[in-house]
Structure 1
Amino acid sequence: MAQLAIRKILNGNGLVQTILRTSATNFMVMVITTLISIVTARMFGVAGKGELSAILFWSTFLVGVVGFGLPTSLIYNMKRHAGKGAEYIRAGFLFQLPVSIIVGVASWIYLPVWLGNYSADVIQTARWYTVLMLPLLLAVNLIAALAQSTDNFKVYNGVRLFVPLFNLAGIVVLFMVGVLNIHAASFVFLVTTLLVVIWSLLQLRGELKIAWFKRMVDRVAAKSLFGYGSRVFGVELLGTLYSQFDKIIILSMLTPRDFGLYSVVYALSRVFNTVQMAISNVIFPKLTGLDKDKIISTVGRAFRLSLILMTIVVVPSMFIGKFLMGILFGKEFLEASTAFYLLSFECILGGGSWILAASFNALGRPGLVLIRQVIALAITIGLFFVFTPLYGLNGIALSLLIGAMVRMLITIAAMRVVFKVRFAGMLFDKDDFRFLIGRLREKKIIKRAGRAGGMDE
């Protein structure tokens, strides 16, 4: 009976079931990514790990810079304007073709400057990897948005899971044949992403059967797509800068060894964002188009429950994380343990603030999130230049933690002013756990699990 209850959770299409499945996917992605980090850290050492991270960094960063808000706009418009999905898909994908070429050429020219502290071999590998990976990552973002907008979370979760899974398999194969180095590892990451893109396109072929190269573009659909995209792009651009500027600071002010240390502790701290990331990814497409009160109440409850859960988990896990970091990655990585503590708390606060931000995006008010991001980013970047020369990696982590606090406070204040939400009500509601238990009973999960427990006894 317990298996039937679990199967009901995994196969349902409701908000709670989708969040649970996405949370499970996030957890698996985190585990696989950690295994990749362990293998590469052990094989390449701290400095080699930093060089590999530098190669992989620029394509991810640049895709965030030139996304133009199209993935989010695709979700929003396909949910709000049924019947024009083909035009939105066509405009979004075709627009990314010239973008990937232009950004690729710029990357090839300027990467030697951006990676001035690295060897010529690393720079050349980074050039090829960035130019070839850019169109793939742009496609991945639009594919994920298309899957979300059609409630095809099987493909959405598959895209995010299969890339690291295949990366791990490829690295293991390289290790077994004795050719594991940062250049071969980069090639594996590129090929596996290509394979996942092909798989996802085949899975979504029904939605992609459209007249791709007909002469005229639907101006109304294009205006709607790029109109909302331009409004949300500022938020996403600042989000990218906020999440990636720490790496830029390390690349410009510190050493490859520092980058190697930071890449490990940063990735390890993201485990505490598993549930919150799932909620953020699911709640926007699920709630867009609903009435304001429903959006506010659902987002508020998701925020409170996730924050309580992750706070309970984080304290013991931090100590276990430090212990495991020394065993799995090596004792030399323990010198970044303080940064790990600070980044863990930053992860929880940052994830919670993004859940709250979903309410503004779902109600068509992304400009409010943009203001929040501008203020928080300005404060965080300013602190980077103050704390990094003084405290190194710990200074970067401290800056991010303060920035996360600022984002949280601004978001709650904006909800208080714009949506008239009580401050205390956003942080605590005694009915939250009653609601959660009621939903589980409604799905007969608690009842069935109790019966199964009785039968097992």
Structure 2
Amino acid sequence: MRNLISTWVQRGTRSLRGRDGTAAIVQTLAARALIIVVNIATGTITARILGPAGRGEQAAMAIWPQFFAYSLSLGLPSALLYTLKRYPQERSQTFSAAVFLGMFISVFSGVIGVITIPFLMQKYPSEAIHLSQGLMVAVPLVVFTEVLRSAMEASDEFVIANQIRYLPPLSTLALLIVLAVTKQLTPFTAVLSYWLPGIPMLVWMIACAKRFFTIRFTQIQHSIQRLVHYGFRAYGIDLISALAGQIQQVLAISVLAPAAMGLYAIAFSLCQLLYVVQSSFVTVLFPKAAARPVSEVVELTSRAARISGMLAILMAISMMALAPGVLHLLYGEAYLAAIPIFRVLAIETVLGGTAIILSQAFMATDRPGIVTLIQGIGLMLGAPLILILTPMFGLLGMGLALLGSTMIRLVSVWICYPVVLKMPPPGLWLTHQDLKFIQQKFLSRF
């Protein structure tokens, strides 16, 4: 028995240290599972102490640096990843060009955020609005975190990339515990605890990058052109993939009062448990599929969509059944009203994750343009649906509007396979070959 346990531990350790695609997925799954557990802990602390209204104010203030950094990224993270894979002989020039563009995006995003936040937070106190504007100084942290993470993933350094993911939430949890014990936890100090760890993390990430790249701002004009050319075409998919959830929150902030926003924030954060599997496949799929032949890319993408989708469905069914007990245990009776929208958002999360995975085939084959347009239309339809259904049905109406928008995006990207790639649409039901693949690639490691 002891030898069996020792063998399992050794194989698990090899999976966490390996560099192939399967090991990368295992590593990313482990990192994202840790992040989810930490986020539940941080959410429990803030929800219990701040209450629904305070939790809503915190959620409303915390989102803006990420939202504006991602929404105005011009597709830079995906462009960097693809270009590093496509032109490995020009790695340092490409990375230097990405740093240069990141500086411009940081300044531009911060200025736009300061100008537009007052219009997006009209239901919130003026103090919360001013504090949110001040938090725009955190935009460079978000931009360069994404640039450096994409560079590590392109270099198959998934261990470092995942450390970039889970170390900040762990630091945030530690700060929140200190604030709670000293009775200094307010919506604003809670927000600061999410962003302050990013400063030492950025310094550490720069030190890691120096091991793989040499930063020079001379002779990078051609690399800038490549990044911009791919980035603008990939911008829509990049925006949809990164911002689908955040756009939901921005729209929620504009139509919901702080207490209702608190309920929505809790339901949304729990749904991220469902996305952990699919997002792990997305993280590994694009770097591994980039610049391969179309047939190979479609095969990899189809299998990833089926396997991750089935795992997410099983998780969704379990979580919807357990939702009342989990919400009451973690957050208290005041948050039980979030159960209906949580169940709707659970379905939306699974479908949205599948749509994002299917989109990676177009990113990897340098054909992001048309699917970006179609996906963007589906996403934009969510705004009028929210404005119509939320006043009629409250929080549940908002969830139904988001579900409708996501279904349009999923169907649209599925149709793009025969139209754009000239390949049959992927089957979404798990096959016997998929089960054999799971047995060979995953279970054999343990």
Task: Tell me the TM-score range normalised by the shorter chain.
Answer: over 0.9
1:178–1:366 distance in 2 versus 1, CA, 3 Å: same
Distance 1:78 1:69 in 2: 14
* Deviation larger for 83-92 or 347-356: 83-92
Instruction: Quote the residue 2:24 is aligned against.
Output: 18
Q: TM-score, normalization: structure 1? A: 0.92
C-alpha distance after superposition, 1:65-105 (max 9, x if no partner): 11011110001011001221111111211222233223323
Instruction: Quote the residue 2:3 is aligned against.
Output: none
Query: For 1:342-421, what aligned pairs fall within 5 Å after superposition?
Result: 342-421=344-423
1:125–1:425 distance in 2 versus 1, CA, 3 Å: closer
Instruction: Quote the residue 2:4 is aligned against.
Output: none
1:424–1:114 distance in 2 versus 1, CA, 3 Å: closer
Distance 2:278 2:242 in 1: 18
Query: For 1:251-262, what aligned pairs fall within 5 Å after superposition?
Result: 251-262=253-264
Deviation at 1:340, TM superposition (A): 0.2
Q: 2:289 aligns with which of 287, 290, 309?
A: 287
1:155 partner amino acid = I
Contact 2:19 2:157 in 1 (8 A): no
C-alpha distance after superposition, 1:263-312 (max 9, x if no partner): 11011011111110000011101111222221111111111111122212
Contact 2:17 2:159 in 1 (8 A): no
Deviation at 1:138, TM superposition (A): 0.7
Instruction: Quote the residue 1:327 is aligned against.
Output: 329
Contact 2:73 2:105 in 1 (8 A): no
Gaps of 5+ in 1: 450-457
* Deviation larger for 371-380 or 348-357: 371-380
Q: 2:209 aligns with which of 204, 212, 217?
A: 204
Q: 1:147 aligns with which of 137, 152, 162?
A: 152
Distance 1:418 1:334 in 2: 45
C-alpha distance after superposition, 1:225-271 (max 9, x if no partner): 11101111133234455433322332222201111110110110111
1:5 partner amino acid = R
1:81 and 2:79 aligned = no
Deviation at 1:161, TM superposition (A): 0.3
Distance 1:381 1:366 in 2: 23
Deviation at 1:176, TM superposition (A): 1.9
Distance 2:231 2:83 in 1: 10
Deviation at 1:369, TM superposition (A): 2.4
2:79 partner amino acid = S
1:188–1:19 distance in 2 versus 1, CA, 3 Å: same
Contact 1:360 1:368 in 2 (8 A): no
1:289–1:105 distance in 2 versus 1, CA, 3 Å: closer
1:173 partner amino acid = V
Query: For 1:234-249, what aligned pairs fall within 5 Å after superposition?
Result: 234-239=236-241, 242-249=244-251
Distance 2:370 2:153 in 1: 23
1:76–1:423 distance in 2 versus 1, CA, 3 Å: closer
Contact 1:79 1:285 in 2 (8 A): yes
1:31 and 2:37 aligned = yes
Q: 2:107 aligns with which of 101, 123, 135?
A: 101
Classify the secondary structure of the residue corresponding to 2:63.
helix
Instruction: Quote the residue 1:70 is aligned against.
Output: 76
Contact 1:412 1:426 in 2 (8 A): no
Instruction: Quote the residue 1:454 is aligned against.
Output: none
Distance 2:191 2:427 in 1: 48
1:55–1:414 distance in 2 versus 1, CA, 3 Å: same
Query: For 1:127-206, what aligned pairs fall within 5 Å after superposition?
Result: 127-129=133-135, 131-206=136-211
Deviation at 1:428, TM superposition (A): 4.3
Instruction: Quote the residue 2:306 is aligned against.
Output: 304
Distance 2:383 2:191 in 1: 30
1:178 partner amino acid = K
Distance 1:246 1:324 in 2: 23
1:41 and 2:43 aligned = no
Q: TM-score, normalization: structure 2? A: 0.94
Deviation at 1:421, TM superposition (A): 4.2
1:117 and 2:119 aligned = no
Distance 2:179 2:427 in 1: 53
* Deviation larger for 1-10 or 68-77: 1-10
Deviation at 1:359, TM superposition (A): 0.7
Query: For 1:433-448, what aligned pairs fall within 5 Å after superposition?
Result: 433-440=435-442, 444-445=444-445
Q: 1:339 aligns with which of 338, 341, 355?
A: 341
Contact 1:269 1:344 in 2 (8 A): yes
Matched positions, count:
440
Classify the secondary structure of the residue corresponding to 1:427.
coil
Deviation at 1:429, TM superposition (A): 2.7
Contact 2:35 2:166 in 1 (8 A): yes
1:238–1:24 distance in 2 versus 1, CA, 3 Å: closer
